[in-house]
Structure 1
């Protein structure tokens, strides 16, 4: 029998993993609490068990999480079911740390999380959130944008939408006030300190091509499982990116709203009539299962 929905109750990880997405969403809503701290900062209980610092001016993410207590439940539950104690994981494009919190909890004291986020004010709140929840000792926050090589870039941060911040090459098309100089680091360099790499969540608003290039050594050595946001409209050469991925991961899969993955063809991914962001799931074991 599902747990009764009691306002203020704390959810367990097993409840987050539960098979009924709608019931889990209701549990999160019932447990949501917020406290305004001043200076556009709110402290919010999310996923029924964590405390997160959020920016009240953030319309695209924080406004939803403050009221609902969750974000993208299909991906939330997929990660909650996949990540295990002792794993070494990375949250690339960590934003305010929603998935970083969840993964830090899931890997436990013997695991390790690296959160990669380039937006300076968001990085500061991310660090405070991980520390507040007791995860500072098992996590590292890198204030940088992930890319193909080491260097410096310009980050465009749309007003009220920090989750949509992106690296830009032409400043003329953007308001200079919204541009921030940020370091660029390859994930191969950042993750080099890990004894292994088990799982990565990558959501970088169009920088995925460069990120995959800068992840080549890590993929070749560890073949980690990866959730990667893919939108052909934001790629320089989406077909080339898919070809690059299919080398180490012959069976590309898509994560659906039911938190399940199914194989997907290049033709479907490159369909010009589909403008939605899709979540690719890359798992080297899927190739073994599909081609014994």
Structure 2
């Protein structure tokens, strides 16, 4: 009974705009609503503005976050289906980024995929800001560039169709699962043939981010979602992390084939503390032991940054 009453009250609050600015008829969701609206309200607003048009050749143009035009591969089940029908993805991380990025910031999205977060970063950073979206899948990188361009963010956002690593390899093999390109991952060349039955395998350039750092006097925020390549990527950007100590959002799973404890210890040496982004409660203090103790096998979103920067951006 109480749960039903709460649902009714939330519905009334959304319809009448109590405590939040309403989206005018025909208007778009604005950045203040993404930052501040209660999650249920924001999700309803975004869904109400979601729409898509099929362009042919397995491509569609849709509206995401009630605000941006975005090109999507209609064969993409893991991410594209959610963007086409709901208009958002991982709203907890969406809100964290919306609260963290400010005009003039420099942001890097590693494993940018179709560009959902890169679009949001580019909008938030504004004309004086700068965004680098790194996506090794060539076909997806082309859609990402098209989405940035159609929203007018081309001048402030750059797409690089490369994979990041520690600088030890100049090229690598990217296995792209059929219908699940968001799970594309670098694989050893000797094993590439084993993936042919369920994935497309393409050779891609691999470089260390620190080789690009001179062109970026300052980095304010880095998001990494790299399906198992995190350790090499972090080694390849270690100098920049120590130089700038940007807000770092890292997808992490200690079941992946590298020494997760060593990766976390290195980051702890730079930042002094680790937090995790909980889907229901926002940014919460954590520890290496707590992160490694997770037994559900699910990816975790870890957050590293100065306490002053984390304050006020990590609510639910």
Q: Secondary structure at the match of 1:201?
A: strand
CA distance in 1, matches of 2:38, 2:207: 39
CA contact (8 A) 1:78 1:259 kept: no
Match of 1:139 in 2: 157
Q: 1:181 maps to what in 2?
A: 203
Which one has a bigger Cα radius of gyration?
2
Distance 1:6 1:248 in 2: 45
Give 1:18 deviation, angstroms: 1.5
Q: Specify the alignment match of 1:271 in structure 2.
A: 293
Alignment gaps of 5+ in structure 1: none
Deviations 1:20-69 (A, max 9, x none): 01100111000111011111110000001100000000000000110000
Secondary structure (helix, strand or coil) at the match of 2:146 reads helix
Match of 2:82 in 1: 64
Task: Choose the corresponding residue for 1:40, options 58, 82, 85.
Answer: 58
TM-score normalized by the length of structure 1: 0.94
2:271–2:306 CA contact under 8 A, matched in 1: yes
Q: Is 1:230 aligned to residue 252 of structure 2?
A: yes
Aligned pair 1:14/2:32, yes or no?
yes
- Cα distance in 1 for partners of 2:272, 2:66 equals 37
What is the match of residue 184 of structure 2?
Answer: 165
Secondary structure of the equivalent of 1:36? strand
Point out 4+ residue stretches in structure 1 off by more than 4 angstroms. Answer: 3-8, 286-289
Worse overlay, 270-279 or 16-25: 270-279
Q: CA RMSD in A?
A: 1.9
In the superposition, the TM-score normalised over structure 2's length comes to 0.87
Contact 2:55 2:61 in 1 (8 A): yes
- Residue 288 of structure 1 deviates from its aligned partner by 11
Q: Secondary structure at the match of 1:241?
A: helix
| Structure 2 partner of 1:80 | 98
1:245 alignment partner, one of 255, 267, 273: 267
Structure 1 partner of 2:10: none
SS in 1 for 2:293: coil
Q: Deviations over 1:217-243 (max 9, x none)?
A: 101111111100000011411111111
> What is the aligned length?
289
